[in-house]
Amino acid sequence: MAATPMPGNPNLDGNPPPLPPLPGTDMTGICFRDQLWLNTYPLDRNLVFDYFALSPFYDHTCNNEQLRMNSVHPLDLSHLSKMTGIEYMLYEVVEPNLFVIRMQKRDSPEKVTPMLTYYVLDGSIYQAPQLCSVFSARIGRALYYIQKGFSTAASKLEKIGHDSESDDANDDATATKETIDLRELKRVDHILASLQRKLQPAPPPPPFPEGYTPSQPTETEQGSETQQGTEQQQPLPVDPIIDQGPAKRTKYD
């Protein structure tokens, strides 16, 4: 029983299923296998073409079919070389697992043009893809992975660049801040030192006039002064340059 996959399914309304592609077209998406035939006959170089003729890959208008109708072996090269048109040739054989059949167009006994290649692998028949289709698929797959790799690398580099820019900005901001603080500190120290050099020592207070007797502080003033002295436990540091201390007063008897 032949198990030939057909593209699509028969319609439920009784319409016939769509016909398979014509032989010689792109049929790389289907596979043919007749398990009943394989169980009945051996698969060798003498019978493999009869098995191939059951598949949808076989063109019944080929020269091999004419030889079969005339009871001649379909792969007899002595007869095929005298004909012109489409023919099949057994190109390579590795019994009983692999048989390669090539479809070609013969214009003369010496001139043939290869068209398509089919292979029988462990009893299943396939159409080999054309070389341009193989290159196109491989190149498309390679370009896909190359583009994916570039996209991944670009995203990682962008992230690394963003982190680096953030770190550089933070470092620059910190460095700028520290530089500004040091400059301001030096500037303030320079100004204070200049002012300190320019200031003159505080002059002594003028002496009391003749006959002046300083008044004695009252009890309230003494209490407030005592309280202020208690609150100020630690005296403030005295600048030896600016504060020259209390001036010496002349005592009068």
pLDDT in tens, 168-182: 666 665 555 555 566
C-alpha 216, offset from chain centre: 94
- Residue range 187-235, pLDDT digits in tens: 777 777 777 777 666 666 666 666 656 566 555 555 555 555 555 555 5
In eight-state DSSP terms, residue 110 is S
- Relative to beta strand 112-121, strand 98-106 is antiparallel
Q: 43, 49 in Cβ contact below 8 A?
A: no
User: What pLDDT, on a 0 to 100 scale, did the predictor assign at position 69?
Assistant: 92
Q: Where are the beta strands (DSSP E) in the chain?
A: 2-3, 33-34, 85-94, 98-106, 112-121, 124-127
Whether the per-residue pLDDT at 131 is higher than 90: the answer is no
Residue with the larger pLDDT of the pair 20 and 30: 30
* Percent of the chain topping pLDDT 70: 58
Q: 101, 58 in Cβ contact below 8 A?
A: no
31-128 classified as CATH 3.10.450.580: yes
CB neighbourhood size of 24 (10 A): 15
Task: Locate 184 and state its tokens.
Answer: 């301001």
The Cα 243–Cα 250 span in angstroms is 20
User: What pLDDT, on a 0 to 100 scale, did the predictor assign at position 168?
Assistant: 60
- Alpha carbon dihedral 54, 56, 57, 62, in 10-degree steps, equals 70
CB neighbourhood size of 62 (10 A): 21
Torsion sign across C-alpha atoms 251, 212, 219, 236: negative
Which residues, 6 or more positions from 16, have their beta carbon under 8 angstroms from its beta carbon? 10
Q: 123, 38 in Cβ contact below 8 A?
A: yes
Torsion sign across C-alpha atoms 149, 150, 156, 157: positive
Whether the per-residue pLDDT at 13 is higher than 60: the answer is no
Domain residue extents for the chain: 31-128
Average pLDDT, the chain: 75
Output the pTM of the full model. 0.50
User: What pLDDT, on a 0 to 100 scale, did the predictor assign at position 16?
Assistant: 55
